[in-house]
Structure 1
Amino acid sequence: MKGNSVLTSAAPRHSEKKDRRFDVNRWLRWATWALVAATLVGRLGEYLFIFELFSHFAVQYCVVAALLATYWLFSGSWLVRISVGCLILNGFLVYPWLLADPPAVVESSRDLRVLHANVLYTNTDMQRTIRLIRENQPDLFVLQEMTPPTIRVLAPLRDTYPFQYEIWSKGPCHILVGSRTPFSVDKQSVQTQQVIHLHTTVRGRDMALITVHPRTPVLPSWFRERNQQLAFVADQIRRERRPTLLIGDFNISVFSPVYKRIFDNPDMAACRKGFGIGPTWPRFLPPAMIPIDQAFVNEGFRTVRFQPIEQPGSDHKAVVVDLQWSAEDR
């Protein structure tokens, strides 16, 4: 009946939705399991390019794992064990690069300096690149992501680096090498692999330089192509009998399982080993930076210095590598 009708009001849901939205523990639990997944999936990067993309951020995973472990410890959750486990797994990848001693050298002076820079193909202000080279005064320079117009802008460098050679590497990008001394180039490497492999003489001693810039491995075919090019240059430096430097933007970090398979070899040494991790990309987002610009030497060289340096106008840091002839070659 109308007079006896009972009105009931619905319970407010605003506070319930608000509680779900700001449930810190819920979101941090998801973050913990995401960290576990990223850590484990990255170790499968040998088999699929998507998996390998997760492998490059071991340092960042260590930081996140440490923060999560601290939070779960004070909140009394068993998830602290999971976070600590992720910290340990990623720590095993990071600590060799953090704790390695610098290579032993005969003396503090250098015999050879090489500057490597990925200038970014959309960067048209080459005056900054010219200044970078003149300030560091390398014996040879390697510039990645050059284009025909920007190569022409570097003409003033020919007064100091009269010997130059460029090749197409991928898309709109070219590689340019400049040297104070004349050199010869292995044309077979250029034609089959888009690799510059040159021989020159510096301060009366024969040496070789190899450089490559493979595709970013975001497609299956590009992943395979990059791995093939990197395996090729690794084989080239192992075969060289001259003191040899292999350098380039390899689009692979030191934490990748593919990197370990290709470059973990007693016949070559990573120049950055003993000088820290040395992240180089992306320069515009420092917390996410990873070490993808690489340099290696064979037994003919010892590394005196490996240092990423600021490079305005690019998404990469440039790298300066100072080398000595090994004791046998001095």
Structure 2
Amino acid sequence: MADFPRLQLAVGLAVVLALVLWHSDEPMDELLAVVLALCLTYQLARVLPYTPLWPRQVADAKGLLGAPRLRILIANVLMENRDAAPLLALIKEHAPDVVLLVETDGWWAERLLAVESRYSHVLRRPQGNHYGLHFMSKIPVEDIEVRRLVSEDVPSVRARLMLAPGREVEFHGLHPRPPVPGQDSDERDAEILIVAREVRERGMPAIVAGDLNDVAWSHTTRLFQRISGLLDPRRGRGTFSTFPVDYPMLRWPLDHVFHDASFRLVRLVRLPSIGSDHFPMMIDLAQEASAEADQPAPQPDRADIEEAEEMIRQGLKVAGGERQMPEIKRPTY
């Protein structure tokens, strides 16, 4: 979890550095200022790409005629939250094409019946352990499946969305197990990187979304991007921090939507609170023919690939059981 508070550390370091410079009257103050400046530079190097001061990784959509559009809403509902009305109102107001909800249990499954009729494809996996999920799509879907990539009690979803004739995109919805202080993040990292490896090797347009329980600037998330080749629409726009709702100064960007270079961005927005400890996120994408030429995909080197393979093996080992490295199944057309 050392990657999480980099933004807060940068702010704190900047304040302390300013105070040291303001009251500097001892030789040691100059040395302290240099050390603080170096630490601040290191932190800023990780978080500045997620501010408007940095070039955008995803270009704005050009509004090309006939380009397929896709609106996705993702939310961690907080299993103990017993007020479904705010979420249902957001779904009705924004009419997303795809909805991914995590931490849904039986109570939430019953309340979501109020909006399921708006969607032609619904997948429900309510669970009482904070890892339930709910997937709904207006877009025609093929090959939808629930998977348990690392742990039997932590499901994820993979579905092929048929945006238009000849325009398909593979959607992955994730909510890996979070790290906690004093424990490792091996299982989370393994699940994220298994999907990254699949996306690259299957070689079709892809979207990976969900509460990844990791910040945008972490080593694992950046490795995920290089392995998968997916883009982060946050880069160059803002952190869009989603957790925790009740503590603005401590918020981190834990809820993500990554996509391949065939999409440009129409809109990315953090939606109002729904009573959860996470804010929902909504993204509008346009799959435009010329997008890939303007948006170079991240590329891994050999060391990245070897590191990802080792992290996957370690995560599967920590999770226990007899799980082996998942085989990559090529899509059929």
Pick the TM interval, shorter chain: 0.7 to 0.9
* In structure 2, distance between residues paired with 1:176 and 1:275: 29
Task: Tell me by how many angstroms 1:170 deviates.
Answer: 8.1
Task: Tell me by how many angstroms 1:101 deviates.
Answer: 3.3
1:148-177 CA-partner distances (Å, limit 9, x unpaired): 221111112122113110236782431101
Please state if 1:147 is matched with 2:105. Answer: yes
* In structure 2, distance between residues paired with 1:80 and 1:100: 26
Query: Structure 2 vs 1, CA of residues 266 and 248 (structure 1 numbering), >3 Å: closer, same or farther?
Result: closer
Which range moves more in the overlay, 113-122 or 210-219?
A: 210-219
Please state if 1:277 is matched with 2:239. Answer: yes
8 Å CA contact 1:143, 1:177 repeated in 2: yes
Task: Tell me by how many angstroms 1:106 deviates.
Answer: 4.8
Query: Structure 2 vs 1, CA of residues 168 and 329 (structure 1 numbering), >3 Å: closer, same or farther?
Result: farther
Query: Structure 2 vs 1, CA of residues 197 and 220 (structure 1 numbering), >3 Å: closer, same or farther?
Result: farther
TM-score, length-normalised on structure 2? Answer: 0.76
Q: Secondary structure at the match of 1:299?
A: coil
Q: Secondary structure at the match of 1:128?
A: helix
Task: Tell me by how many angstroms 1:261 deviates.
Answer: 2.4
Q: How many residues align?
A: 277
* In structure 1, distance between residues paired with 2:82 and 2:162: 32
Tell me the residue number matched to 1:101.
55
2:193 alignment partner AA: A
* Counterpart among 19, 27, 40 of residue 87 in structure 1: 40
User: What does 1:155-166 correspond to in 2, within 5 Å?
Assistant: 155-166=113-124
* In structure 1, distance between residues paired with 2:156 and 2:183: 18
Query: Structure 2 vs 1, CA of residues 170 and 107 (structure 1 numbering), >3 Å: closer, same or farther?
Result: farther
**Structure 1 stretches lacking a partner, 5+ long:** 1-52
Please state if 1:225 is matched with 2:215. Answer: no
1:199 alignment partner AA: R
Query: Structure 2 vs 1, CA of residues 112 and 186 (structure 1 numbering), >3 Å: closer, same or farther?
Result: closer
Query: Structure 2 vs 1, CA of residues 232 and 142 (structure 1 numbering), >3 Å: closer, same or farther?
Result: same
* In structure 1, distance between residues paired with 2:38 and 2:76: 36
* Counterpart among 132, 142, 147 of residue 90 in structure 2: 132
1:282 alignment partner AA: P
* In structure 1, distance between residues paired with 2:162 and 2:118: 16
* Counterpart among 25, 41, 55 of residue 3 in structure 2: 55
* In structure 1, distance between residues paired with 2:202 and 2:287: 15
Task: Tell me by how many angstroms 1:100 deviates.
Answer: 2.8
2:261 alignment partner AA: E
More helix by percentage: 1
CA RMSD of aligned residues (A): 2.4
Query: Structure 2 vs 1, CA of residues 232 and 169 (structure 1 numbering), >3 Å: closer, same or farther?
Result: farther
Which range moves more in the overlay, 286-295 or 81-90?
A: 81-90
Please state if 1:190 is matched with 2:147. Answer: yes
Query: Structure 2 vs 1, CA of residues 191 and 251 (structure 1 numbering), >3 Å: closer, same or farther?
Result: closer
1:209 alignment partner AA: F
Query: Structure 2 vs 1, CA of residues 317 and 61 (structure 1 numbering), >3 Å: closer, same or farther?
Result: same
Which structure has the larger Rg?
Answer: 1
Tell me the residue number matched to 1:25.
none
Query: Structure 2 vs 1, CA of residues 125 and 294 (structure 1 numbering), >3 Å: closer, same or farther?
Result: same
* Structure with more relative contact order (C-alpha pairs < 8 Å, separation 6 or more): 2
1:267-304 CA-partner distances (Å, limit 9, x unpaired): 21112223211111111100000111111111332233
